[in-house]
Structure 1
Amino acid sequence: MTDILDLAREQVLDGGVALDQAQTLQVLQLGDDRLDELLALAHEVRMKWNGPDVEVEGIISLKTGGCPEDCHFCSQSGLFTSPVRSAWLDIPNLVEAAKQTAKSGATEFCIVAAVRGPDARLLAQVAAGIEAIRSEVDIQIACSLGMLTQEQVDQLAAMGVHRYNHNLETARSHFPNVVTTHTWEERRSTLEMVRAAGMEVCSGGILGMGESLEQRAEFAANLAELNPHEVPLNFLNPRPGTPFGDLEVLPATEALRAVAAFRLALPRTMLRFAGGSEITLGDLGAKKGILGGINAVIVGNYLTTLGRPVETDLDLLVELQMPIKALNATL
């Protein structure tokens, strides 16, 4: 029987053909003794099919907390006893956050709101924010505002939103164990409308939410079928007061194995380190991840949890000789 890494080298690295679900599962089942070999192969795949550039992004929460959905990992749900409370960010602070993000070398600034989907007030605030940012900052603007109608998709496209994030979160089969107030299919529908409107599709999820390795491989296949421009990989950072608050943090070796497996299942996709990577991997793990398939990072803090200092991530990219993707290359 052909070794899975030998097969992946020929199929993915040489041929540019992604691993399928069954093959991805074989990678996820590899022992820790094969981890360095796996990460090295994933890095080769990333370099061959994506190049050395790393895209840097900052995110800001326009509306925090008070969300009516019951995503079991999220402290922004108004249904749980977690300490996050509803709050809005004003336009001057939004513009300042965009300026600080641009100063870090980031090419993407993502406006996020904790909602099921945007109402007229929120869309008006987003439109005003985008106009204000554009007048002062040279940066691409992305949004993550929940599930959309076709009319809302068209409005965001008209505003010039470059990329829309809406995570599938987990495998289709595991989703009902994570969220009960809406369906995986509803999320997928939003992403299909976003793509049809000409915006880039950003969709990933969170690893370590009680899914099996089989479901992790299924999730990679779900994402490959969607063919998003970007996949943010989060690792569960258990939040007090949420249904997943008592889950264990994913072991670092398991997280790194997943990063490499997702790279082999999505060889041409932008794979971004997102929330939870600090608590799951630490500094050494972050370095290994960037040398094991990752080619994009979020700098600074996340929505309700702290990230690493911006300078730490930027210094790491310099150390690894990974150039930050220039804005003019994305226009």
Structure 2
Amino acid sequence: MHVIELRSEWDVYAEKALRGERLTTGEGLAVLGADDGELLPLLHAAYKVRKTYFGRKVKLNLIINAKSGLCPEDCGYCSQSIVSKAGIAKYPLLEKDVLVDGARKAMELKAGTYCIVASGRGPTNRELDQVVEAVKEIKATMPMKLCACLGLLSDEQAARLKEAGVDRYNHNLNTSAGHFATITSTHTYDDRVHTVEKAKAAGMSPCSGCIVGMGESDTEIVEIAYALRELDADSIPINFLNPIPGTPLEHSYTLNPRKCLKVLALFRFLCPTKEIRISGGRELNLRSLQPFGLYAANSIFVGDYLTTEGQEASADHRMIEDLGFEIERCAL
């Protein structure tokens, strides 16, 4: 007896993604507006794309908050910005030995990528020197991919980071061009695009993503997904807003786990070959549905975020194992 498998609307989208075709705006909105009863078929279709390019592997990343607070920018989502009243630790850039120790911790937690993140508009020459020295030691002693996130860069600074051994540079676009001014006024959307382009020109792998849940419309979510596809970012962190008390967006809690899963499916369809990483706000927003996110995404952070706590790394390892997935080891 022949079994006929019926193709769903989502399967058609998966087939488009596998052919390299871009979903239309209407199709993107259909994903975000899918009936909750369609969630499993939607994730099944997204998994077809994910499995084609990444199999059952999951990339782990660890972040170190190398410089906390003291930032002159006014990003409304950020506890480290000048407009934030959040009670966070504030300190200058950590010494080289502390940054190197963070890489050792990343290895212990099975993270293949170690991310050095510093608050501020961009690094001073002294700060860049400190990061460069730490990067050189880490690359000389550990099989570790290194990502830096230091704010806006000059061409010279980007070249120095690449020469030191930085593999990837992160600078998120955060939201769509049309929505950007409602979140930040001290720099522009184009400033962020130009920094990603400088990192690419220097030979670093571009990492750029977004924050969902900052009052944007579904159309604007599709627009930022389009923008990141056009930017050709190799790694796309999807943050779900954690409305930290003391920040301008502290009362902006609008997401639910099902909407977050639809967002992840959208990005998988639109950026099929790219690393889609579930980033900040994962535990708060996906809650008990966290494992389902890995049917669309193929990467997560382990450990804590910048000023908020993540779940125990052992819980992330167990989640991956329970899914029948495997941690991808670093391949330099």
Give your verdict on TM over 0.5: yes
Residue 24 of structure 1: aligned partner: 28
**Structure 2: runs of 5+ lacking an equivalent:** 1-6
Cα pair 1:69 1:181 within 8 Å, conserved = yes
1:300–1:85: structure 2 CA closer, same or farther, 3 Å change rule?
closer
- Does the alignment pair 1:127 with 2:148? no
Aligned pair count reads: 325
1:215–1:128: structure 2 CA closer, same or farther, 3 Å change rule?
same
2:324 to 321, 324, 328: 321
How many Å separate the matches in 1 of 2:209 and 2:14? Answer: 24
Show the 5 A alignment for 1:1-331.
4-13=9-18, 15-88=19-92, 89-282=94-287, 284-291=288-295, 293-328=296-331, 331=332
Shift of 1:135: 4.1
**Structure 1: runs of 5+ lacking an equivalent:** none
Secondary structure at the aligned position of 2:67 is classed as: strand
Cα pair 1:4 1:26 within 8 Å, conserved = no
TM superposition outliers: structure 1 runs of 4+ over 4 Å: none
- 1:117-157: CA deviations, max 9, x gaps? 11111101101211232343321111000011111111111
Cα pair 1:53 1:295 within 8 Å, conserved = yes
Shift of 1:79: 2.6
Larger CA deviation: 3-12 vs 307-316: 3-12
Shift of 1:51: 2.4
- Residue type of the alignment partner of 2:141: E
Cα pair 1:164 1:202 within 8 Å, conserved = yes
Shift of 1:85: 4.1
Residue 4 of structure 2: aligned partner: none
Cα pair 1:66 1:85 within 8 Å, conserved = no
1:240–1:21: structure 2 CA closer, same or farther, 3 Å change rule?
same
Shift of 1:236: 0.4
Residue 3 of structure 2: aligned partner: none
- Residue type of the alignment partner of 1:69: E
Shift of 1:84: 2.1
How many Å separate the matches in 2 of 1:25 and 1:200? Answer: 29
Shift of 1:249: 4.4
Shift of 1:271: 0.3
Aligned-pair Cα RMSD in Å: 1.5
Cα pair 2:14 2:48 within 8 Å, conserved = no
How many Å separate the matches in 1 of 2:244 and 2:50? Answer: 32
Percent identity for Structure 1 against Structure 2: 38
Shift of 1:54: 1.2
How many Å separate the matches in 1 of 2:217 and 2:115? Answer: 31
- 1:163-185: CA deviations, max 9, x gaps? 00000001111111111100000
Cα pair 1:115 1:146 within 8 Å, conserved = yes
- Residue type of the alignment partner of 1:311: S
